[in-house]
Amino acid sequence: MAIERPLDALNEAKDSLVVVELKNGNTVRGKLLAFDIHLNVVLDDAEELKDGEVSRKLGRVMVRGDTIVLIIPSK
């Protein structure tokens, strides 16, 4: 099994659904369109989640990398 670097893992997740957990406790789910070396991410069709349920639709958003705790790619 090859060891992946974080940016390699994000590159594999491009154009697929990801869940992003933020430092403030919020969770956002959306299609990963782009990211940079600072882990700023652009999500399309983003939705804010509360208790696993969609609380509001956000559309296209950019999430600043220093607010992100975890990015979970879906398989």
3-class DSSP state of 7: helix
The predicted structure's pLDDT at residue 2: 64
The predicted structure's pLDDT at residue 28: 97
Region of residue 8 (phi > 0: left; psi between -120 and 50: alpha; otherwise: beta): alpha
* Per-residue pLDDT tens over the stretch 32-67: 999 999 999 999 999 999 998 999 999 999 999 999
Predicted confidence (pLDDT) at residue 4 exceeds the cutoff of 90: no
* Residues above pLDDT 70, as percent of the chain: 95
Predicted confidence (pLDDT) at residue 17 exceeds the cutoff of 60: yes
Question: What are the structural domains, with CATH classification, of the chain?
Answer: 6-70 (2.30.30.100)
Strands 27-35 and 68-73: unpaired
DSSP 10-34: HHHHTTSEEEEEETTS-EEEEEEEE
